Structure 1
Amino acid sequence: MNISYLILAHKNPSQFHRMVKKLDAENVYFFVHIDKTADDVPFKQAFINYKNVFFIEEEKRMITPWSSIGICKVTLLLLNKVIKKFTSNTYCVLLSGQDYPLNNNKHIYNFYQSNYGNNYIVAEEIKDIWPEWANRFERYNFHLPNKRLNRGIFPIFDSRFLTLRNFKHIFYLLRNLGFTTTVNTVFKPKRIHPNYLEPKGGDTWWALPVETVIEIINYLKKNPDLLEYHAYTHVPDETLFASIVNKLKEKEQIKTTNTYTNWLRNDVELPVTFKENDFEELKQASKNYLFARKFDVAQDSAILNKLDQYINHQKTNISS
């Protein structure tokens, strides 16, 4: 069996180097997209002589604003690169450049080998996890480069068009996107999710057998309107893959994500950026998760040092 890590990175080249080198092992491969807003040279330099690290070509790199369809598109770029090399017996593990392992490579490999065929992705009822689900799925959402925000509007044919909030967003888009784009959006038809697929949702980060990946790619080829629809969805990466996997696989084949993320604190920007004093939380999480996000060496690198010490002294177990 092989493990193919798909990594989306946009900052902190040294942190990216550290993660890749920590995960590097026999039968492990890395497929990497560096956001087009970043200089990719510092990311690549450390891996010039590596035969198992593959970067998306310069002409295919994209700018991927937070919560935009760009994340889905670059993920599909990486997946298509994987299936040119592997069509069976491979786990595809999606990570960000700010993730880090909670377990050693032998444990990670044994886990996927022992549980091969499971799809580790969160696919929950959208109304249960997102109270604002209608804003995500029924507004025309726009994601502005270099700004961690989105603005969405309901078109004139939607009853929610005549609300103060909607008019505020229309004026915002007039100032930032211009008259033509905004007015054209106002007169678009009401947004309705494709009726052939039940929308599900959850965390962006997942691990799927390459056989499932091939099914996803074929499904999108048969239903090109699905990507077109999600061009206006807020955070489509949290629903597109989950919805397709839920459609294609039996319930017992779908397990929760392998990546631990803390969304529950009240006093910090979410998700939590882990620091040294979060070590015990991460140690506990390592019993049920293989990876965690997120980390930022510009804020705290000591937590990665502690995790390295912990990982290096772990006993290797196989769990499900």
Structure 2
Amino acid sequence: MNKICFLILAHKNHNQLLRLINHLKKDFDIYVHIDKRSKLSLKSFDNVNIYKKIATYHGDVSLVNATIFLVKEALKNNYDRYIFISGQDIPLKTNKEIINFFDRNKDKEFISFENIKNSDGIYKEMSFRLNAYNFGKLYRKLLSRKFREIVSNIPFIKRKTPENIYYGSQWWNLSHNAIKYILEYVEKNPQYLNRFNYTWGSDEFFFQSILLTSSLKDKCVNDCLCYLIWGGGTPINLQMEDYEKIKENINDNLFARKFDENIDNDIIDKLYGDLNE
């Protein structure tokens, strides 16, 4: 049987996060990083390791740094499988079903991906994200996209779109071999991480671009195993009205996201209730 751990990034919703942790910790070790700016206050307990080291910002390289921190902590205990989710995810399968799934798929790396060169439109948009300088939420609100395009084309600060770049979901389910390869790659190529400084959406390029240009490429399955509905460039908060869609589209999805106890706690109760039937 696979030895599995969960890596969780969180920043809000104390009760919802604790419910997720308590559900998973019965069968898995848990590593949680809470945004340093958050008011959430949890301490490590049982097989749950809580950290609050890095201030994280949406779309920022700080999310990559927090993820790498969790990976390094978990790697000390040599798991077979590392499952990376957010504190706003909810399991769609029981712990036993999750274990069985990865027992059947030991050599597969589940991570969504697409080559940015697959279309001119995608390449243009992703090149903008990679090359326009991002200095946080305030910067993006104050300065228009057009202005940032102009700034990013100033000769002495202009950045070039890297070769062999893939993008996809921030969340993934990777084997020990993949995790070890990623950390070794980052250690040997420090300029790779540095390239994502001031890059919008770093977390959606970073891991894909390492794995899909490695010898592990053929083991990568284009699926992060998480159900979500996009709206306005970000996943919507799922509510009771989405329940039937969630259940109809489970397939091999192990999780769904995202949920917010302050918006609709009933859907959270409903989905956890399904796991206990």
Alignment TM-score, normalising by the size of structure 1: 0.78
Residue equivalent to 1:296: 260
Residue equivalent to 1:120: 110
Deviation of 1:133 after TM superposition, in Å, equals 1.3
Matched residue type, 1:34: I
Deviation of 1:135 after TM superposition, in Å, equals 1.0
Residue equivalent to 1:286: 250
In structure 1, distance between residues paired with 2:116 and 2:256: 23
Cα deviation, 1:185-207, whole Å, max 9, x if unaligned, reads 95643212445xx1001111100
Residue equivalent to 1:178: none
Residue equivalent to 1:12: 13
Instruction: Identify if the C-alpha distance between structure 1 residues 188 and 10 changes in structure 2 by more than 3 Å, giving closer, same or farther.
Output: farther
Alignment TM-score, normalising by the size of structure 2: 0.89
2:49 aligned with 1:54, yes or no?
Answer: yes
Contact 1:8 1:32 in 2 (8 A): yes
Among 143, 156, 165, which residue is 1:199 paired with?
Answer: 165
Gaps of 5+ in 2: none
Deviation of 1:149 after TM superposition, in Å, equals 4.4
Residue equivalent to 1:254: 220
Deviation of 1:285 after TM superposition, in Å, equals 2.4
Show the 5 A alignment for 1:99-114: 99-114=89-104
* 106-115 or 250-259, which deviates more: 250-259
Aligned CA-pair RMSD: 2.6
Instruction: Identify if the C-alpha distance between structure 1 residues 6 and 246 changes in structure 2 by more than 3 Å, giving closer, same or farther.
Output: same
In structure 2, distance between residues paired with 1:212 and 1:70: 21
In structure 2, distance between residues paired with 1:245 and 1:292: 24
**Greater C-alpha radius of gyration:** 1
Gaps of 5+ in 1: 154-163, 171-181, 314-320
Contact 1:260 1:289 in 2 (8 A): yes
- Equivalent pairs counted in the alignment come to 272
Matched residue type, 1:102: L
Deviation of 1:67 after TM superposition, in Å, equals 0.4
2:32 aligned with 1:32, yes or no?
Answer: yes
Instruction: Using the aligned pairs only, state the percent identity.
Output: 31
Contact 2:6 2:29 in 1 (8 A): yes
Instruction: Identify if the C-alpha distance between structure 1 residues 2 and 254 changes in structure 2 by more than 3 Å, giving closer, same or farther.
Output: same
Residue equivalent to 1:177: none
In structure 2, distance between residues paired with 1:65 and 1:16: 19
Deviation of 1:40 after TM superposition, in Å, equals 3.8
Show the 5 A alignment for 1:53-92: 53-56=48-51, 58=52, 61-86=53-78, 89-92=79-82
Instruction: Identify if the C-alpha distance between structure 1 residues 95 and 188 changes in structure 2 by more than 3 Å, giving closer, same or farther.
Output: farther
Cα deviation, 1:254-281, whole Å, max 9, x if unaligned, reads 1111111211x5xx77311100111111
Matched residue type, 1:36: K
Instruction: Identify if the C-alpha distance between structure 1 residues 309 and 189 changes in structure 2 by more than 3 Å, giving closer, same or farther.
Output: same
Instruction: Identify if the C-alpha distance between structure 1 residues 19 and 205 changes in structure 2 by more than 3 Å, giving closer, same or farther.
Output: same
Instruction: Identify if the C-alpha distance between structure 1 residues 217 and 167 changes in structure 2 by more than 3 Å, giving closer, same or farther.
Output: closer
